[in-house]
């Protein structure tokens, strides 16, 4: 039987308060060490509720994978290079994106820069005068931010239709509008958010996106029909 090892446990105080309440946690006479950040299921969490560290870590791993592809399959046809990017690099950039989807321009642009470099790799065009925007349009690649937004919408659909393996109480987070008028019946109340950390977290940001959907899409019958109505991109 596996024994519990307190020395491998840590405590993270996740808060924006200037003077947080600190408590000492112990198990088996061992005091847990207080840390400023940690990783859980591949996602790096910071005690100040910032996604900067995880974003930078994600960008580094994605760039390393992209560099590996450039060193080894540059001479392959364009469709092979494109599929290689979508198989080995883009999943790194999008892993658990509904959780940590950044809202700062710096993080968003740095993530998009990886895909722009990937477009140059696929097109085999590294000239500084060439437009990566035109390359991505030719490849029919939507921005990563657009794909993350669509992933949030799909997750809302799955939650509100009980289509996920781990039960998330939809009624606790998604409250339908109770007043009449346009959108009544399929739109949700946007939670009050005092700070950006909460405003751009999954539930509030996903609800804002959801409330912009046309009624025929928000009320689509079946997950595949809903996905088909979104502009997902290849």
- Using one digit for the tens of pLDDT, what is the confidence trace for 143-154? 999 999 999 999
Mean pLDDT of the chain: 88
Token pair belonging to 65: 């994978």
- Using one digit for the tens of pLDDT, what is the confidence trace for 74-109? 788 999 999 999 999 999 999 999 999 999 999 999
pTM, 2 dp: 0.85
* Local confidence band at 63 (pLDDT 50, 70, 90 cut-offs): very high
Secondary structure (DSSP) of 6-57: GGG-EEE-----SSPPP---EETTEEPEEESEEEETTEEEETT---HHHHHH
Which CB contacts under 8 angstroms, 24+ apart, belong to 146-150? 146/231, 146/233, 147/94, 147/97, 147/232, 147/233, 148/94, 148/97, 148/98, 148/101, 149/101, 149/209, 150/230, 150/231, 150/232
Distance in angstroms (rounded) separating the CA atoms of residues 94 and 112:
11
- Using one digit for the tens of pLDDT, what is the confidence trace for 168-188? 888 889 998 876 555 566 899
> What pLDDT shows up at residue 226?
93
Give yes or no for residue 234 having a pLDDT over 70: no
Distance in angstroms (rounded) separating the CA atoms of residues 105 and 136:
20
The tokens 């847990």 sit on which residue? 32
- Using one digit for the tens of pLDDT, what is the confidence trace for 114-134? 999 999 999 998 888 889 999
- Using one digit for the tens of pLDDT, what is the confidence trace for 204-221? 999 999 999 998 999 999
> What pLDDT shows up at residue 57?
95
């Amino acid at each position: 039987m596996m024994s519990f090892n307190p020395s491998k446990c840590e405590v993270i105080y996740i808060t924006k308060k200037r003077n947080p309440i600190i408590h000492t946690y112990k198990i088996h006479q061992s005091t847990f060490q207080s840390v400023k950040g940690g990783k859980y299921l591949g996602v790096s969490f910071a005690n100040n509720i910032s996604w900067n560290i995880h974003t930078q870590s994600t960008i580094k791993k994605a760039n390393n994978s992209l560099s590996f592809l450039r060193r080894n399959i540059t001479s392959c046809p364009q469709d092979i290079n494109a599929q290689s990017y979508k198989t080995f690099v883009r999943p790194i950039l999008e892993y658990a994106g509904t959780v940590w989807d950044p809202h700062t321009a710096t993080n968003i642009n740095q993530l998009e820069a990886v895909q722009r470099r990937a477009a140059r790799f696929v097109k085999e065009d590294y000239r500084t005068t060439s437009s990566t925007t035109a390359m991505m349009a030719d490849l029919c690649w939507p921005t990563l931010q657009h794909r993350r937004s669509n992933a949030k919408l799909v997750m809302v659909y799955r939650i509100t239709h009980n289509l996920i393996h781990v039960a998330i109480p939809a009624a606790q987070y998604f409250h339908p509008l109770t007043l009449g008028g346009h959108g009544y019946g399929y739109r949700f109340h946007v939670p009050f958010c005092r700070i950006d950390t909460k405003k751009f977290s999954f539930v509030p940001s996903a609800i804002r996106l959801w409330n912009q959907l046309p009624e025929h899409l928000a009320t689509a019958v079946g997950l595949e029909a809903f996905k088909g109505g979104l502009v997902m991109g290849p």
